[in-house]
Structure 1
Amino acid sequence: MKIACIGAGYVGGPTMAMIAYKCPDIEVVVLDIAQARIDQWNSDKLPIYEPGLDEIVFEARGRNLFFSIDVEKHVGEADIIFISVNTPTKVRGVGAGAAADLTYWESAARTIAKACTSSKIIVEKSTVPVKTAEAVEKVLARNCVDKSIRFDILSNPEFLAEGTAIDDLKKPDRVLIGGRETESGLKAVATLKAVYERWVPSERVITANLWSAELSKLTANAFLAQRISSINAISALCEATGANVKQVSYAIGTDSRIGPKFLNASVGFGGSCFQKDILNLVYICESVGLKEVADYWRSVVTINDYQKDRFVNRMLEAMFNTVSGKRCAIFGFAFKKDTGDTRETPAIDVCHKLMADKAKIACYDPQVTEDQMIRDLSLDPYMWDHPAGQVTPKMTMVKQQFTTCKTAYEAAAGAHCIAIMTEWDEFKTLDYQKLYDGMVKPAYIFDGRNIVDPVKLREIGFVVYGIGQPLDPFVTESAF
């Protein structure tokens, strides 16, 4: 069997590497039109930081895992073709700011139609709107010259979480495969199911119809984001009443009907999926006339934006309503620990708001490069996943207020405050006395991830703010 995957990003690369790693008799080729990205996959330094990824790629690469830009050749030879291209939020036109841009999807479908000389199984791996499979079928049917060729479209959404992706791929909660409930559709589902069952217990490989599978991915991300926004909304109430959101989260998480996961209050959620998928869900609901449902899901994003605004407002109020000219140390830029992914990271909005008040930002992240941070801070909303507009005039302005540092200690030297934006483990074990000694007084810590001990830090001399925790007396007295 031969498998090809169009798209070498955060989903396509790791997923195909795992299939090749677990199925050494299957040839897997990951394809992309960007030579630079393919070169990185073929190098010693992969384009994605993910714990455990190097091991499986280096084990399978050159044996039965290959990375190439020769899209048409390998698509034409494959038995199963995964499509794992970007589906970014539209930035203009109908549905701008909510609907998914399927430009890359349509382009991939046209490439497949042109390259194929035999019947194929086409697998949706990207997160797509409901009924995308139907659109792909139409493009393939009208563009494939040989009308005897059959294309069976499957939906196989990926549920991995960045930072734990390899473990998620090795031992997934479930693998979902959706297909048409026809003889050929069921046969295609069985073919793909057999691949996953090489290492995933059969009871965890579940099947559904195409539309249910497509909607399940959007719904899963919406539910996870909803939990984060729900506890973040409660964190604001905790601060207003003197309650501790950590204690509230623990108490409700012991209820088996609720469970403890995704109940950690924070500065807000980020990543490539949550906001994009919720907005896509909102657009779909509006398109079919479900305004109240759309409003409900939009509120999840509204609370997320509110939480980021609230965090910055706490910083400003505590620091005497101005950060103009003040050095603010940002600890972490990635949207979560154990990944270098910065898409929709809360750090972008927090830095923007601080710089708007003329703060000087000094940022340290162990996995994110300076170029990536500058690019992210220079792009307009929703442009992070679009090739156009990678370089903007805003970069010059950003560089005047934003610098990167090689260590947390360098970032905090001479700073008025530290804002913890990513829950990297190293931030839990820093020498905070050393950090305090090198900072301007009063020295503040704004913990956007609730990973440090406020009692111990206050004993050192810090003024500490933690999301949803009782307010520091200094903050209460001086700022409110």
Structure 2
Amino acid sequence: MAPLKVTKICCLGAGYVGGPTCAVVALKCPHIKVTIVDFNQARIDAWNSPDYNLPIYEPGLEDVVRQARGRNLFFSTNVDQAILEAELIFVSVNTPTKKSGVGAGFAADLNYVELATRQIARVSTSSKIVVEKSTVPCRTAESMRTILEANSKPGCRFDILSNPEFLAEGTAIQDLFAPDRVLIGSLQTPEGKSACESLVEVYNNWVPKQKIFTVGLWSSELSKLAANAMLAQRISSINALSAICEATGANIDEVSNAVGMDSRVGPKFLRASVGFGGSCFQKDILNLVYLSESLHLPEVAAYWRQVVEMNDYQKRRFSKRVVDTLFNTITGKRIAVLGFAFKADTGDTRESAAITLIRDFQAERARISIYDPKVEESQIWQDLQEASPTVPLVDIQKNVTITHSVLEATRDVEAVIIATEWREFKLIDWHAVYAQMSKPAFLFDGRLLVNPDELRQIGFRVSVIGRGETL
């Protein structure tokens, strides 16, 4: 079968995956019309804003949208029209962890995937290639195919592909421009392979053929979960060693550098921190745990569950260290938390370590000031409310202040916590910060950003994660 030449693409979902991915597809494929759709009018309005005040922050994204929007890149809430016109449809909707019912707390909630699939079947009057872009459990494509075939109109054929994203927030545009690999899974039938080749041709406009890997559908779905689980496992492993370093006086930087110099291991994702966050790692590992238990593999499930448990332990251990160091009580004390995003160069706060730390400090009745250069105030209040659902927002706001600079956040505080590795925090005027803090002035570095010796010279009492030095 000759592969279909794709000229119109629709992306269902204008979030962190669909927006950047399809914006880059439009930039690199000027001959293809790309329409990104979402039911959220405010989100689409932000994508279409005249001043390019986009709904997500990602370095380089604005430049991509500026070049392609209005040429062959469009953002719309007219979902049906975009589906009707498209030959290839990316499904990039949210797949959060279930909050209730069977598999609550572990399984992926596929409600949005199913709704999107049913809408594709209901609207389509011609054959389509449907591409899973969302991170989904293994064999989700089988469910999608069943729905599509049961609801398709005469003469409509649907081929399903799996094309997981391997983007790191903060470097997503760079990752899309020059990916390590593009993975496309299909049924190993003539029709499936033909559909796969159609998507290969789209990516081949800028990605070398040798970096495009075509595999079976189920291998592609599992590869995404496996990649995130392995990366998170490395972080939990080095964080587990950081606890040993603190107890023995070893230096986690020196240990991770020594380990990372081994070519069999490599240096990436071996940087100790207060814990990993983001939209993928925890969700995908819990999904893998649930999948393992569903397949009656309890030992496998327990293995991967421990990665998440170690991450939770690292956050608890850090907040306890703060309380213990501040003379075993922080009630009424002022603490500055620098950083609220889960990592630098993104406004994403999902599973951010800062949320857990602040919740723990609130439980101790501390007074907290927060500064993050990119996270919106409304997002911070929403996250803190969700973290403490039994506490009214008005009560949270009595003890939490959102500020607009490092100096404002650290005025009259007794301790400073570095929770996100923003580049701005490497350039802080610590003399000015120290001058306006209560004394003794404590600094807790959860991201290995500061030079503790230099700060001790100023007068700070410094605690760095993964180092056992006494204050």
Structure 2 Cα separation of the partners of residues 283 and 370 of structure 1? 34
Mapped contact 1:141–1:147 kept (Cα < 8 A): no
Could you say which residue in structure 1 is the equivalent of 2:312? 305
Could you say which residue in structure 1 is the equivalent of 2:10? 4
Could you say which residue in structure 1 is the equivalent of 2:19? 13
The one of 103, 114, 119 equivalent to 2:122 is: 114
The one of 53, 64, 77 equivalent to 1:56 is: 64
The 5 Å alignment of 1:191-340 reads 191-340=198-347
Could you say which residue in structure 1 is the equivalent of 2:3? none
Q: Give deviations 1:147-173, integer Å, cap 9, x for gaps.
A: 321100000000010000010000000
Q: Give the letter for the 1:94 counterpart.
A: V
Mapped contact 2:341–2:349 kept (Cα < 8 A): yes
Quickly say closer, same or farther: Cα 1:314–1:3, change in 2 above 3 A.
same
Could you say which residue in structure 1 is the equivalent of 2:438? 440
Q: Give deviations 1:40-68, integer Å, cap 9, x for gaps.
A: 00012000100000000010000000000
How high is the sequence identity, in percent, across the aligned residues? Answer: 58
Q: Give the letter for the 2:297 counterpart.
A: L
Q: Give the letter for the 1:134 counterpart.
A: E
Structure 2 Cα separation of the partners of residues 462 and 143 of structure 1? 66
Q: Give the letter for the 1:201 counterpart.
A: P
- State the SS of the aligned residue for 1:178: strand
- State the SS of the aligned residue for 1:445: strand
Structure 1 Cα separation of the partners of residues 29 and 465 of structure 2? 45
Structure 1 Cα separation of the partners of residues 194 and 392 of structure 2? 52
Mapped contact 2:186–2:215 kept (Cα < 8 A): yes
- State the SS of the aligned residue for 2:263: coil
Could you say which residue in structure 2 is the equivalent of 1:386? none
- State the SS of the aligned residue for 1:109: helix
Unpaired runs of 5+ in structure 2?
Answer: 1-6
Mapped contact 2:356–2:387 kept (Cα < 8 A): no
Q: Give deviations 1:193-212, integer Å, cap 9, x for gaps.
A: 01101101110000110000
How much has 1:456 moved relative to structure 2? 0.3
Correspondence 1:379 to 2:393: no
How much has 1:380 moved relative to structure 2? 4.8
How much has 1:6 moved relative to structure 2? 0.2
Structure 2 Cα separation of the partners of residues 139 and 269 of structure 1? 36
Could you say which residue in structure 2 is the equivalent of 1:347? 354
Mapped contact 1:3–1:81 kept (Cα < 8 A): yes
The 5 Å alignment of 1:23-42 reads 23-42=29-48
Normalised by the length of structure 2, the TM-score is: 0.97
Structure 1 Cα separation of the partners of residues 77 and 427 of structure 2? 43
Could you say which residue in structure 2 is the equivalent of 1:398? 396
The runs of 4+ residues in structure 1 deviating greater than 6 Å are: none
Normalised by the length of structure 1, the TM-score is: 0.95
Mapped contact 2:127–2:156 kept (Cα < 8 A): yes
Mapped contact 1:122–1:151 kept (Cα < 8 A): yes
Could you say which residue in structure 2 is the equivalent of 1:74? 82
Q: Give deviations 1:211-259, integer Å, cap 9, x for gaps.
A: 0000000000000000000000000000111100000000000001000
- State the SS of the aligned residue for 1:106: helix
Could you say which residue in structure 2 is the equivalent of 1:142? 150
Q: Give the letter for the 1:21 counterpart.
A: L
Quickly say closer, same or farther: Cα 1:393–1:462, change in 2 above 3 A.
closer
Name the count of aligned residue pairs: 463
Correspondence 1:128 to 2:139: no
- The Cα RMSD (Å) is 1.0
How much has 1:471 moved relative to structure 2? 2.2
Structure 1 Cα separation of the partners of residues 366 and 376 of structure 2? 21
